[in-house]
Structure 1
Amino acid sequence: MNRRMRILLVEDEPMFRKGLAKMIAGLNTVWEVCGEAENGEEAEQLVEQLCPDLVITDIRMPLMDGLELLQRVKAAHPDIEVIVITGYQDFQYAQSALRCGALDILVKPCSKQDICLVLDKAEAAAAVKRQQRGMEQWEEAQRLDNALREQFLRLPCRPDIAAVLQRRIYGTKLILLYIADYSPAHKQYVKKDIPLLQFAVLNIVGEMTREVQGDAGCLLIVETGCFALFVKDLAAEQERQLQSAIAGSLWSFLGLRTELQEAVAVTALEQLPDLYEERLGVWRSGAAFGGIPASSFSREEVEQSLPDGGSSRMKQQMIAEQLAELIREGNLKGLKECLEQLTEAVCASSPVVRKLEALSLVFALQQTARKHLESESDAGLLTARIERLHKCGSLKELRAWLAEAIEHLLEELAEWQNKYGGSSVAAAIRYMEEHYASKQLALADVAGQAHLSPAYFSHLLKKETGRSFVTLLIEMRMEKAKQLLAGTSLNVTEVASIVGYDLPNYFAKLFKQHCGLTPKEYRKQHQS
């Protein structure tokens, strides 16, 4: 599900703060109020405890005002956005908040439209920062992959990077694997297909390792045909099962025979080149390898055939997450537009890497389908796709190949929506019926039970019931309130609290809107 975005409200006027919290809770957004504070000093402590994504603070407060809080928050936590609330008389003063890093200013009294606009702005800012962090992580993974590869090949490494690599591999076991034959008789692979095949190997082995290890494993391509897999906390039998599964999958998916060495414990970077040369010395001496003589590769060809495993898979992960978010939102138009943009990006890439980029996109599609649409791995489909890809001789044929894979994803999405649309809403409604009395029950909580984004869940709920989340929740609470008023001697304040309302007057107002009677009038009519 989408991660819920957390807001810390800082306001010394309790009624305004409570009203703002209720307004935010009633919006169909990913935002929730995770905490409230009366002044900047209290807020500063809560920021450390709650780690909010957004702080909405009044500008004038006792002990520590909003401007000082803003400066302290941005200094300690640059990624946390801050929105400042001000009255008209303080507007000039509040403008200085923008120069100190505030995302925006809210002027009292704040309407629902005002709140929606600034929350949309904050969500967009958070999305940009997530994308930036993703790119930084991708670049860092690429640097570390290259540095670890260089360790196997006895190339120099900066001490600070070596220290990072040492922590990364300490306590792991190393499994070296290599492709024994890149030109099996039953396949029509040629030398130019080797980059595609190696990229496919990285994805297949990486996915299998993640199923066993999560993110604890590390997979690296060292040289053409030679791969290093670091595993952690696996028993000997699990290691043998993983090795057997890898060999079997690469044969069934790609028709490639794979040799895997027994796992060896690793405690220091200095071990890597000796282990590598000892176990793959025959190939490194220049013997024929993979059915193609090693000497037939130029330096440029070797470098081109070495996709960056970690960074490529991270890029795929970023694409898969982007697609998954659109699926959870039910944004079919946005999903199609995103897929069109990704297709154009592939087609605009250099001819040297275009097929690799295309295969990377298709692996991202498959990852999305498996994780979010309950799609099963299909060895035959993957094999056929790779065989067709290496036969694509023109950009038009590559476009057609991508279009076929995208259409397959959209068909799987349609099947998934038909299967789960109604049942997800039914499950969410049952959850609401069980938890309607919770004062903290929010749209995001209920949407999470359906494994959908709040926005898409709201769309499905309206389609299935004709009512919004807020309307349906009020109806549930009012029906229970009617039972309590008619069947118990509890006073109105007690009934309000039981069905989820802190403020009896607010409860009474909603009850009259719903039933046409005040709570006391309803009790008088229905108690015998």
Structure 2
Amino acid sequence: MNVLVVDDEKLVRAGFIALMPWDKFGMKVAGEAANGEKALEFLSANPVDLVITDLAMPVLSGLELMHVMKERHPDIPVVVLTFHQDFELVQEALRLGAIDYIAKVELEKEQLEQVLGRIKARIGKERQRGGMAQVSLSLETLAIAYYIGKRGGKAAERPAHMVAEAQELDDGVWYVPLPEYNKEGGAVSIQQALGREWTVLGFERPCGIERDRLGKAARRFRETGLFYLSEPERRVYRVDPEAWLAEAMAEPETVALQSSLQRSWTDWRWLRDDEAYAKLLRETEDARLPAIQTRDMLLSSLRELRTFGVAGEAAGLEPDLERMTDWSGCVDMLDGIRRRYQAAFLHSGYSSEVVESVAKAIRYVEEHLEEDFSLVDVAVAVNLSRSYFSQCFRDMVGKPFVEYVRAARMERAKRLLESTDKPIYWVAERSGYADEKYFSKVFRSQYGLLPREYRSRYIGTSGETSSP
């Protein structure tokens, strides 16, 4: 199996090629390229069975390469090589047909074989599916079963052992023929046999569909619709087939939508205003963003809440939110956060106008974190006197304004170190420090490590704990 490796960083390319145990899985690196354009030149002149590509590259990005490959080389599978937090780019790559992705933090020695083994198995499944792509099916005669349990277990293969005709559409997504004698209640019977780690969809009326299109729709629906459809204690749903297909195959403007919603979730009005909160819930649900992007938006909001008085409660909920499999569960969690916020702030003894001013100050800090500003600047911006603002801020937030700003800047610096490979001076500037040396001194006093040491330790720890 000939492999083409595409990455604009020569050292990353060389290290990746040298690290992977290609021979053990019948693979060999046939070539390498520094961008999408060079990759296309190589593909036009050489036989290639697999492309492994970075996403963020000059000249022609990984996503642009995939768009061209869909037209010119549709049979060559693509695997994405990326940083572990490029969620939005990874989701777009999967929608374009990438069969898998490798987080660069996965590349620890003990995981290399797992990574290649997983990719080879995925290629085998894709080829098997390709041979059955044109098989025509009728939706009312089958159910779609989604595995929602922990990844990596044998439970995700249970339909194959239960019904001989069951076919896997994707990892943990199966279609299961319904019994002739019980098409109406067959979905319920299948779900009961599979167990609580499965959600099953049945269809209300006939609708013909090719197997290939069914597979694409089922995969897409898992990313979007299933998250919003699911209820905590419900595992069986009957849906209209044409409405289901339309929702599953829709192409939302995810980048613009997520950007707009992100701004709304980081605006504190949803915590204080019932109407604003209800409106934001409706907009988020209607957007039907992939679950991973929705959870990421809410996690960003919780991270800001950590420094806004409900620190302990909000921080404790983050792991629960990361594992949340349904939108209704997220709403319950957000309801609880609002109750905590209102108990801490709206009943603090200050007027609603003063509470609003402190909330505006928090927003000001977030929006101007890269700039040089003082307590006086912010007090003027929120129409309070310097001394009264300082007192109100300390009472409600639980720390002096200067200490809060330093903590917010350190939190941003930490996130940038974790999620980018930008130079330290760049991280310092984006965190509000013009002097890199002073930034490093403050960072070390806060976390006990220099920024470069923190990044190395964080990446090493993430590599050890990442799932393959």
TM-score normalised per structure 1: 0.27
Q: Who wins on radius of gyration, i.e. which is larger? A: 1
TM-score normalised per structure 2: 0.30
Q: Relative contact order, CA 8 A, sep 6+: which one is greater?
A: 1
